[in-house]
Amino acid sequence: MQLVARDELCSGCRTCELLCALSKLKENNYKKAAIRIRGQFPDPGRYFVVVCDQCGVCAEVCPEGCIEEVDGAYRIDKERCTGCGECVEACPSDAMFTHPSRTAPIKCDACGECVAYCSRKVLAIQE
């Protein structure tokens, strides 16, 4: 299971980022979201959605073994994570994020909370 995005539809509103941080961390801080919107202007002149594709590389490289697949998505055990950053460095999608206030990295677990709030229907959960 993974969250997929149709970048060509994204307007850059960042509602998904805000909703992610609110639903997961109860914080109004898009920098703590597990999804990122990146604008590339002037060329090619559009937004790109950066989100975990659940490839599992992070789990393979984690020296603590604190990233496990649960219901088709990889999740970080925040209690066991030491914050070494191996997973962030190894992520081929550049879809794991750190924040100075947190030890464990942040990554999408395909919860789908953002899907219903995307007014342009950019996001979807794929089984």
The number of folded domains in the chain is: 1
Q: For residue 118, what is the domain's CATH number?
A: 3.30.70.20
pLDDT tens digits, one per residue of 54-94: 999 999 999 999 999 999 999 999 999 999 999 999 999 99
State which residues form the domain around 81.
2-126
Alpha helices in 1-127 (DSSP H): 15-25, 57-61, 86-90
pLDDT tens digits, one per residue of 100-116: 999 999 999 999 999 99
Q: Model-level pTM?
A: 0.89
Q: Is there a contact between 64 and 80 (Cβ–Cβ < 8 Å)?
A: yes
